[in-house]
Amino acid sequence: MSVNTVEHNRARFDFEGVDAIWLFGYGSLIYKVDFPFLEQRPASIRGWVRRFWQASHDHRGTPEAPGRVVTLVQQPGAVCRGMAYRVSPSVFEHLDVREKNGYLRFSTPMTFDDGSEAEGLVYIATEDNEAFLGDAPEADIARQIASAHGPSGPNADYLLRLADSLRALGDECPHTFAIESHLRSVVTEDA
Ligand code: SIN
């Protein structure tokens, strides 16, 4: 069903002597900022696309009826836009628990809007994690999202808030916007 990645992440990166580090967010980390940060800047990473291919058993769904949330999938030449936060390493004690359903922290180069670059960390749920669902028609993904609810609320809110945040960032994410549009028709059909 799902693997808890908290211990894996704690062992992954030695924060000894590090006062602050950049974190790149591309999903709920863009709009649900429940952690302190020192600085916040829109940024992009290269070679990755956002996909609703990861199951959520703990936030936007349940083990019996999982929701779908985003992860990153490699695609040469792609650019994924998101929000970068400069944070104290202590923030990861909270975020590792929040992102525990399959996400591991990876290092990534990221580019800010002024062209400057920095190294940061990003949470990615890779295809070998037990909660990875993979590809499906976008209309089917929207139907699954429309019916899923979890302790953090309806899965639909995750999608709609993410889509709004991406528009505010000036991002074009055809995958997210297509699922959003399918979701709006599912909701209208059911009304
Ligand atoms: C992220 O937002 O960067 C990770 C995925 C999520 O929490 O939605």
Per-residue pLDDT of 6-63, as tens digits, reads 999 988 888 889 999 999 999 999 999 999 999 999 999 999 999 999 999 999 999 9
Helix (H, G, I), strand (E, B) or coil at 178: helix
For residues 153-171, average pLDDT: 97
Is 99 noted as a catalytic residue in this protein? yes
Q: How many whole angstroms from 37 Cα to the centroid of ligand 1?
A: 16
Residue 39 lies inside a defined structural domain of this protein: yes
Catalytic member of 99, 119, 130, 189: 99
How far apart CA 183 and CA 190 sit, in angstroms, is 11
Alpha carbon of 191 to ligand 1 centroid (Å): 30
Flag whether 107 is in a domain: yes
Q: Which of 27, 119, 31, 134 is nearest to 73 (CA)?
A: 134
Q: Give the pLDDT confidence score for residue 146 in this predicted structure.
A: 97
CATH of the domain at 33: 3.10.490.10
Tell me which residue of 104, 100, 189, 187 sits closest to 152, measured CA to CA: 100
Q: Residue 58 in 3-state DSSP? A: coil
The mean per-residue pLDDT over the stretch 180-188 comes to 89
Buried b / exposed e along 48-62 (16+ C-beta atoms within 10 A) = bbbbbbbbbbbbbbe
Whether the pLDDT of residue 70 is over 90: the answer is yes
Number of compact structural domains in the chain: 1
Whole-model pTM over 0.85: yes
Q: Specify if 65 maps to a domain.
A: yes
Question: Which atom of ligand 1 approaches the CA of 122 most closely?
Answer: 3
- The domain in which residue 181 lies consists of 6-190
